[in-house]
Amino acid sequence: MTGDRYRKVPSARLSRLAGFGQLAGGVAGGVLAEGMRRLARGERPHLSDLLLTPANALRVTEQLSRLRGAAMKLGQMISMDAGDVLPAELTAILARLRDAAHFMPPAQLARVLAAQWGADWRTRFADFELTPLAAASIGQVHRARLHDGRVVAVKVQYPGVADSIDADVDNVATLLRMSGLLPAALDIAPLLAEAKRQLHEETDYLREAEQMRRYGAMLAEETDFVVPAPVADLSGARVLVMDFVEGQPIEALTSAPQAVRDRAMGALLGLVLREIFTFGFMQTDPNFANYRWQAATGRIVLLDFGAARPVAAATVAAYRRLMEAGLAADHAGLRAALVAVGFVSPHTVRRHGPALDGMIEVLMGHLGRGGEFDFADRSFVEQLRAHAQTIVADRAAWHIPPADTLFVQRKVSGTALLAVKMQARLPLVDMVAGALRDA
């Protein structure tokens, strides 16, 4: 463990604002330096080219990892949701935000725990490991042992994170607007409001404990999953204590035999389908760190239920129409369903109907095949990009789906991304048809 992983979390508003100022200044300096270099080579660079450089992505990653909270959470969302849109080198750098958070120094940690349990907080534990097991955007996790021998995980929220959500989201939005990367006419206000609401929910650890118990009950009879149980008498709004469940990072599965990877990913994808069509309730954060793998039992440990939320009935119905049209190879129905669920606006259909139809044709041909679907086969991506170029280039056609759709699709896309990483092969058509039939 290196000392530079420890950085005090800036909790005061002025210090967090200064962090954003450093970020904006560093990015602006990077743009200027890169612009001068390209001009010296006789090039005429565009602003977006200067902003999306590896050096600037590294600056953003480092500063957001220091600020934590909503700022880092939004960066993580970008890294996971960007998928095949951003250049590979930028996606890789931004992906560092999934596990790049710094730790609180021990003195700051002690103050947080004293606020929760009093100055004698150590007496509640037989042992408490001060070095965190993990650090994320909102809090860090420690292993501890109770006096009855029970081993627990203690999730400690960074100070000031809950109070800084609204300002952090607004600051990130300001940076995006100032960058010129988003069209001025694009209304991101509803998305920002929903992001603030969800992030406020995620910082309420008492609410998360309730969602953990709910998932534990829903999956009580499952053999594929393990859900920790919260320790109610030790948990509060800013500290959450739960069973410590052994497991390796989910990435450990990549070295497992094909059949083991397929079974695990089949369980996770099946869970996503049931969350949409059976439970009407979904844990919407697909961050890989929220899954742990138990090689000995073949089970997946599910963690972090702060982003669990109901799936609106209208969203469920829209996804049903989308998948039914896909299964029926109904191109017109699929296009209508894409509009209904909010992925595509009627304006885009009017302006770019042929390009959209070309993308549907590619997706139908790739996803609609029967038998095993090979997630590692990404041959269709370049074809999609070719059709999407005209839509992406037309900034007036840019469109943000409804928040409910975005959060559900985030889980769907994140799970698919994990299946790609695992090179899983699954009977995808049969799984979707079965989920619709059983709902």
What sign does the dihedral 317-318-323-326 (CA atoms) show?
Answer: positive
- E strand or H helix at 241: strand 239-243
Residue 122 has pLDDT above 90, yes or no: yes
Q: What percent of the chain is modeled with pLDDT above 90?
A: 51
Q: Grade residue 6 by pLDDT with cuts at 50, 70 and 90.
A: low
- How far apart CA 311 and CA 404 sit, in angstroms, is 7
For the question of residue 330 being annotated catalytic, the response is: no
The CATH fold assigned to 105-157+204-245 is Phosphorylase Kinase; domain 1 (3.30.200)
Q: Give the tens place of pLDDT for each residue, 209-240.
A: 999 999 999 999 999 999 999 999 999 999 99
Catalytic residue, candidates 285, 394, 404, 438: 285
Q: Where are the alpha helices (DSSP H) in 180-204?
A: 189-202
- The per-residue pLDDT for 56 is 54
Q: Give the tens place of pLDDT for each residue, 260-296.
A: 999 999 999 999 999 999 999 999 988 888 999 999 9
Q: Give the tens place of pLDDT for each residue, 68-106.
A: 445 545 554 554 444 444 445 445 544 554 544 568 888
- Contact in structure between 398 and 373 (CB atoms under 8 Å): no
- Contact in structure between 189 and 403 (CB atoms under 8 Å): no
Q: Give the tens place of pLDDT for each residue, 391-410.
A: 877 877 777 888 889 889 88
Q: Grade residue 23 by pLDDT with cuts at 50, 70 and 90.
A: very low
- The per-residue pLDDT for 332 is 92
In single-letter form, the type of residue at position 256 comes to: A
- The per-residue pLDDT for 430 is 95
Q: What is the mean predicted confidence (pLDDT) over 336-349?
A: 91
Residue 431 has pLDDT above 90, yes or no: yes
pTM for this one?
0.80
Q: What is the mean predicted confidence (pLDDT) over 326-351?
A: 91
Helix, strand and coil content of the chain, in percent to the nearest 5, comes to: 60, 10, 30
Adjacent-strand bridge partners of 308: 283
Cα torsion 60, 64, 67, 70 to 10°: value is 130
User: Within its chain, how far is the Cα of 93 from the centroid?
Assistant: 15
Q: What is the mean predicted confidence (pLDDT) over 350-371?
A: 88
- How far apart CA 130 and CA 108 sit, in angstroms, is 11
Q: Mean of the per-residue pLDDT values for the chain?
A: 80
Q: Where in the chain is the domain with CATH 3.30.200.20?
A: 105-157+204-245
